[in-house]
Amino acid sequence: MYRSLPKATSTTTFIAGGAGKNCMLSRKGTKLDWVSKNMKLKPIRAVISGGDDKKLVEKAKENKGSLSSLSNGGSIDVKAVITIRKKLKEKINEKFDDQWESLMNGIGRGIMVQLRSEDTDSATGSEKIAESYVRGWLQRLEEHPNIVEYSANLTVPHDFGRPGAILLTNFLDKEFYLVQIVVHGFRDGVMVFPANSWIHSRKDNPESRIIFRNQVYLPSQTPAGIKDLRREDLLSIRGNGKGERKLHERIYDYDVYNDLGNPNKSDEFTRETLGGKKRPYPRRCRTGRAHTKKDPFCERRIEKPHPVYVPRDEAFEEIKQNTFATGRLKALLHNLIPLIAATLSSTDIPFTCFSDIDKLYNVGVLLKDGKNDGKRNQWLASLMNRLLSVGDSLLKYDIPAVIKRDRFAWLRDNEFARQTLAGVNPVNIELLKEFPIVSKLDPAEYGPPESAITKELIELELNGMKFEQALEEKRLFLLDFHDLLLPFVDKINSLPGRKSYASRTILYYSPSGILKPVVIELSLPPTLSCPRNKRVFTYGHDATTHWIWKLAKAHVSSNDAGIHQLVNHWLRTHACMEPYIIATHRQLSSMHPIYKLLHPHMRYTMEINALARQSLINGGGVIEFCFSPERYAGEISSAAYETMWRFDLEALPADLIRRGMAVEDASRPGGVRLVIEDYPYASDGLLIWTTIEELVKSYTNHYYSEPNSITADLELQAWWHEIINKGHHDKRNEPWWPKLSTKEDLSGILTTMIWIASGQHAAINFGQYPFGGYVPNRPTLMRKLIPEEGTPEYDRFLHHPEGTFLSSLPSQLQATKVMAVQDTLSTHSPDEEYLHQLRELQRFSSNDHEVHGFFEKFHAKLEDIEATINKRNKDVRLKHRSGAGVPPYELFLPSSGPGVTGRGIPNSISI
């Protein structure tokens, strides 16, 4: 990607289109306007100048004509137009820097451009080169005041051929954001070199940046004139694996998760490394920071507000940074208030009645006046009230969707069950295939393997149906967290304010189309006095058993919330996607068709993962503070990776078949038929999966039409080899990894990756606040075990069951903190890029019109899917997504506006 340059000559512009990271697309009359009159921004990463497409074409023709006329004799005069994006809001010193940069470029001392031909000299075999400095004063676009353009004039011989690459050297004192370079004057027309990348200063790195034209080449098809540049580009991105990475660098490499703990701070914050034989895990991006003094295997942490290294182009752009900062501020206000309240009262306050929870939405959180806590606390409380209060109240939470239509829905069993199919974690329910249920854990350590759930207990809840009939008709389902959690239960229960069970839940799907829980088993590790430490609960028809049943469901929900966050959300999407991104940059040239296909699905993921390591999944972070496993969260996530994760089963149809929720049927979407047709996550998800799969098959067939073209693609083979052997090093010897020999193999691999980054992540992320924002519906931890008869706790429960239930839930501080985080994680940024916008992004990535047609077809199918989902949500026969007070299932609606919308499928894992 870098190369030293000799010298150069001068540029200005027509913004023809770019693709990649955060340029802007302004298309009048569509939803993609970059700048409206009131300056509300909706950025897209491709750039087109103001005006409609017709005007752009006319301007291109004008430029082509005027420049062609400059040709003389044996040479051609061409012009390279460099488009640079400035910050939307600049500080005074930044404006001064801009003036200085403008002066340097004006006098030809700022940026050097070197044009490389795709051809080599026929006589000598050497590269064909033309170079020049940018010279002249910048031009600003009226409609885009933060977009500026410079030009460089170059003279090339008449037999120069088509330009294939541009080498850029930045002699300025700081980096700049290059949107694209457009070259005018060649007989073949306008040549576009999309960049959407930060160009480092020569003082930071003397090597030049390589920018390729928007032409797709397989490695074997690379023209001779740019073949070496392709190799150099990849070598520069890989780095040498040594030293600490600098923020301006674009080096992609692997490391283990050894930066979650902070032993220098305290032994309390020591955490095991995730990655390796003991704790297998996917790899993260290497930062190269020094290790701590107290633990030579633990990397020194970088705490907020200092940034963690990610390759420069992976960092949030300005709008995303501002949105995220606003979200963090909102979280700070929500977190600070209960924190101070807890400090003033010297205790962690539980909810004492349901109205305490309701006040979070209709009143807001109030600070205590601290009258009994001394003058200092009185002053602090008074100050906070003056600073943060609006009248007598503080900021309020939005009402979550789960209680917006029916505030008592969470109490009902059918709503508890409905959320296993249409909630934020609809990926753990499985068909009950065999009975009795038997654990795979070592009985010598964990007691008898058989579950305490009997068919007689189940049959009592089947409304007259025999157990064998229900099993045969596939009406019994299981939510099983037993084997994953039981090895950690004693550890969790030794923590202050944490009490947990390993749970199993049996659900029954009635002939009337309603799913409901019928039996819950809660287990503790065996003891000498109780080798079979299991309790079984069924729905209560009297007051006591009814409240006990509520507590049992709350414990199941808490387990579900933890598995959702640590396994299905963080591990299976965020953490497992990062190695694919690293390998794609390291092994696939930006000219490679698979790089271009995957690029929109990698945006922001490494940055959000780095921020998660900094404040969410780290020792003492939000996830530990707010979820049951606390300091053992990483260990549980690692255990799930070791025993459950398989790449070949991350495909939606394969996952549904594995869980028994579908059977093979080639006539249905995704090639499967659902066991429960009214399974919103699966039925809508299969529409998205199938549409992605069709796009990927068309795309791969287009570029790999020749026999053996897959095995002959050395970059592609190196990419897949590295994903397996480096990115998922601890799983490298598993026999289930797909081969990469045919187009079908490649299509399956790519469809799975794109599905994980887009549809799968959207389905399990953007419903977090709509479902988890009401604590009783989805507590993230429990603080008490269920009281047993004959104990003082049981007597207190009989006298005040509501108090026992609420005091078992997260405290006010824990609840409000996790609500703030879930609100932030459920929020779409204003610069979000969605699946239905791929046609615009890909339009400027390559100049292949047949490929553009694939994305047009994809766009049309997504519009049809949106209409289908809206229709399903109004179908009264589908009881898991419609009915009185039932929120519609919209997580797979492709489009969304900014904010907490409970819908929309971004291209990438960006939050």
pLDDT digit string, tens, across residues 648-672 = 999 999 999 999 999 999 999 999 9
Average pLDDT, the chain: 87
pLDDT digit string, tens, across residues 750-765 = 999 999 999 999 999 9
Q: What is the pTM of this model?
A: 0.89
- CA–CA gap between residue 892 and residue 872 (Å, rounded): 12
pLDDT at residue 99, as a whole number: 73
pLDDT-derived band at 366, boundaries 50, 70, 90: low
Q: What percent of the chain has pLDDT over 70?
A: 85
In the predicted model, what is the mean pLDDT of residues 294-322? Answer: 90
pLDDT-derived band at 71, boundaries 50, 70, 90: very low
Query: Strand 284-285 to strand 127-133: parallel, antiparallel, or no bridges (unpaired)?
Result: unpaired
Kindly report the number of other CB atoms within 10 A of residue 774's CB atom: 26
Residue-wise DSSP of 334-385: HHHHHHHHHHHHTS-PPP-SHHHHHHHHHT-PPPP--TTSHHHHHHHHHHHH
pLDDT of 28 higher than 60: no
- CA–CA gap between residue 758 and residue 832 (Å, rounded): 12
pLDDT digit string, tens, across residues 251-263 = 999 999 999 999 9
Residue pair 640/480 in contact by the 8 Å Cβ criterion: no
pLDDT of 111 higher than 50: yes
Residue 479 has φ and ψ, to the nearest 5°, of -115, 105
- CA–CA gap between residue 327 and residue 320 (Å, rounded): 10
The pair of structure tokens assigned to 513 is: 């189309």
In the predicted model, what is the mean pLDDT of residues 555-561? Answer: 98
**Please, where are the H alpha helices in 564-679?**
576-587, 593-598, 605-615, 622-626, 633-643, 652-658
pLDDT at residue 103, as a whole number: 74
pLDDT of 820 higher than 90: no
- Taking each continuous run of H as one helix and of E as one strand, the counts in the chain are 30, 19
- CA 504 to chain CA mean position, Å: 29
pLDDT at residue 218, as a whole number: 97
Of the candidates 549, 520, 538, 387, the one whose C-alpha atom is nearest the C-alpha of residue 460 is 538
More confident residue, 22 or 805: 805
pLDDT at residue 594, as a whole number: 98
pLDDT at residue 544, as a whole number: 96
Residue pair 909/605 in contact by the 8 Å Cβ criterion: yes
The pair of structure tokens assigned to 762 is: 């959207």
pLDDT at residue 697, as a whole number: 98
pLDDT at residue 313, as a whole number: 96
pLDDT of 235 higher than 90: yes
Helix (H) / strand (E) element for 883: namely: none
**Please, where are the H alpha helices in 616-679?**
622-626, 633-643, 652-658
Residue pair 863/838 in contact by the 8 Å Cβ criterion: no
- CA–CA gap between residue 623 and residue 608 (Å, rounded): 15
Helix (H) / strand (E) element for 770: namely: helix 768-772
The pair of structure tokens assigned to 827 is: 């929020």
pLDDT at residue 601, as a whole number: 98
End-to-end Cα distance, the chain: 29
Residue pair 843/852 in contact by the 8 Å Cβ criterion: yes
pLDDT-derived band at 185, boundaries 50, 70, 90: very high
User: Where on the phi/psi map is residue 901: left (φ > 0), alpha (ψ -120 to 50), or beta?
Assistant: alpha
Rounded (10°) angle between helices 354-362 and 801-808: 60
pLDDT-derived band at 332, boundaries 50, 70, 90: low
More confident residue, 372 or 635: 635
In the predicted model, what is the mean pLDDT of residues 58-62? Answer: 42
- CA–CA gap between residue 323 and residue 396 (Å, rounded): 19
Of the candidates 36, 67, 34, the one whose C-alpha atom is nearest the C-alpha of residue 182 is 67
Residues recognised as catalytic = 569, 574, 761, 765, 911
pLDDT of 841 higher than 70: yes
In the predicted model, what is the mean pLDDT of residues 494-505? Answer: 96
pLDDT-derived band at 548, boundaries 50, 70, 90: very high
pLDDT of 863 higher than 50: yes
pLDDT at residue 365, as a whole number: 58
